[in-house]
Amino acid sequence: MKLLWDSAAGLLVVTGGLLGLTLPFGKLATAAGVPAMVWAFVISLGTGGVLLLALLLRGERIRLTAHKLRYFFVTAAVSYAVPNLLMFSAIPHLGAGYTGIMFTLSPVVTLVFSILLGVRRPNLLGVVGIAVGFVGAVMVAVTRGEAGQPADFFWVAVGMLIPVSLAAGNIYRTVDWPEDTGPIELAVGSHLASATLLLAGILTLLGKGAFAPLGGVPLVVAGQVASASAMFAFFFRLQAVGGPVYLSQIGYVAAAVGLFAGTVFLGEHYQLLTWIGAVIITIGVFITTRAQNQTSLKMRSQAA
């Protein structure tokens, strides 16, 4: 376990795999009539609650400061509440596998934000990776979801906003990480803040009756809470070990799990162009990762 906790590659596979399970769980829940906002609330409340219990059992406490509160609520909005709401709203229209492909764009968008905000300097290889990823994204976008069931471009646009929100969260969590604060504490605070924001939205826009459909899918709820809790325990550790761009590659693993589950277990079918686009996006991700590694090595050599 300690070896995994210190391995960026191992953490990436575990975190991405657990994230990918959110896609089929989300499709099953929304198909049963659970509103997207309610399912996002289930994930945040369940994850925050389980991890808070684990924290307390270890004898640890959350020591609130103004900095931590800001971090919790900004992270809650851009990393959890907004992308989950977008994802679960889009899945019924685009399919779990197609929506999962949106996760693969997160590394490319993260690198773009890193360059624009001065977190990382651009190099030629990074620009090439961004361009390749963009070409793949266009190819995926024009197929508009499952084969024979083209979705409105509105829902394709909603899906494309998922990696934008995730990338913003990747950058923010790195630049504003509170000092002397562990990953589990940050996961607990951010998810409980997300649950608070989503609950306010549900009660204001949907009413208490929006929770009723959850009674029809108790096993899906249990599976989602268990996988999400485990995923976020590793998520913040990966953030600390690998950094924002490396972290964003969990989307590649998540998309693979989502596509596999969607086609094998949920009966989804996608056009050849969708698969080709997904492969091209993956190539773009590898190029941007290579560019990140080159930049990191250059910075280390200069520091030495």
Residue pLDDT tens, the chain, 304 long: 556 777 777 888 888 889 889 999 999 999 999 999 999 999 999 989 988 998 898 888 888 899 999 999 999 999 999 999 999 999 999 988 889 888 878 777 877 887 787 766 657 887 888 788 888 888 888 888 887 788 898 999 999 999 999 889 988 988 898 987 877 888 899 999 999 999 999 999 999 999 999 999 999 999 999 998 888 778 778 877 777 667 767 777 888 888 888 888 888 888 899 889 888 888 887 887 777 666 666 655 555 5
For 269, list phi and psi in degrees, rounded to 5: -135, 140
> What 3-state DSSP class applies to 206?
coil
Q: How many CB atoms lie within 10 A of CB 9?
A: 13
Q: Which of 156, 171, 163 is nearest to 108 (CA)?
A: 163
Please check whether residue 141 is in contact with residue 199, taking contact to mean a CB–CB distance below 8 angstroms: no
The DSSP letter of residue 208 is G
What pLDDT, in 10s, does the model give residues 157-192?
999 999 999 889 988 988 898 987 877 888 899 999
Residue pointed to by tokens 């030629």: 124
- HSE-up (13 A, CA, CB side) for residue 221: 16
> What 3-state DSSP class applies to 281?
helix
pTM: 0.81
pLDDT at 58: 85
Please check whether residue 228 is in contact with residue 71, taking contact to mean a CB–CB distance below 8 angstroms: no
pLDDT at 183: 77
- HSE-up (13 A, CA, CB side) for residue 104: 33
Instruction: Tell me how far apart the alpha carbons of residues 244 and 296 are, in angstroms, rounded to a whole number.
Output: 13
Instruction: Tell me how far apart the alpha carbons of residues 210 and 32 are, in angstroms, rounded to a whole number.
Output: 12
